[in-house]
Amino acid sequence: MAVKMEGEERIAAPIDTVWQALNDPEVLRATIPGCESLEKNSDTEMAATVAMKIGPIKARFNGNVELKNLNPPHSYRIEGEGKGGVAGFAKGGADVELKEDGPGETVLTYTVNADVGGKMAQLGNRLILSTSKKLAGQFFSNLNQKITAG
């Protein structure tokens, strides 16, 4: 089952600060909903464990994340794949773009494509899409708070 969504977050910080946060495993670990661990394997690869609940299904996903098409401090693509045992799998990516909007203001836009399979995919499009939008919104909101709180 394919999921696609886009969104925007305005962050009261310079573009370089936002870029650094998006590439910092400590910041990502603290801002990804349900993230239990995130380890940097190289400059562009990380291993992650994320626990989540979609409808009646709880799952712990173990997977890998890779940063591609890096264009610092303006854009990159983040791709990942996670396996959640009997709950199924999720894989996909997000194109993230940063634009300066005046001094100390950055607009972050994102386009996410994901594919969900297994037991989770049987829950239906509306539940998967609404949960995905909620999780993406939480992540970018958490990221915004972490950056602006210093």
Read off the pLDDT of residues 87-123 as tens digits, 9 standing for 90 and up: 899 898 999 999 999 989 999 999 999 898 999 888 8
Q: Which residue segments constitute the domains of the chain, with CATH numbers given?
A: 2-149 (3.30.530.20)
Flag whether pLDDT at 126 surpasses 90: no
pLDDT in tens, 75-90: 999 999 999 998 899 8
- Mean pLDDT, the chain, rounded, equals 93
| HEC secondary structure over the chain | CEEEEEEEEEECCCHHHHHHHHCCHHHHHHHCCCEEEEEECCCCEEEEEEEEEECCEEEEEEEEEEEEEEECCCEEEEEEEEECHHHCEEEEEEEEEEEECCCCCEEEEEEEEEEEEHHHHHHCHHHHHHHHHHHHHHHHHHHHHHHHHC
pLDDT band at residue 50 under the 50/70/90 scheme: very high
Q: What is the pTM of this model?
A: 0.90
Q: Which of 6-10, 38-42, 53-57 has the lowest mean pLDDT?
A: 53-57
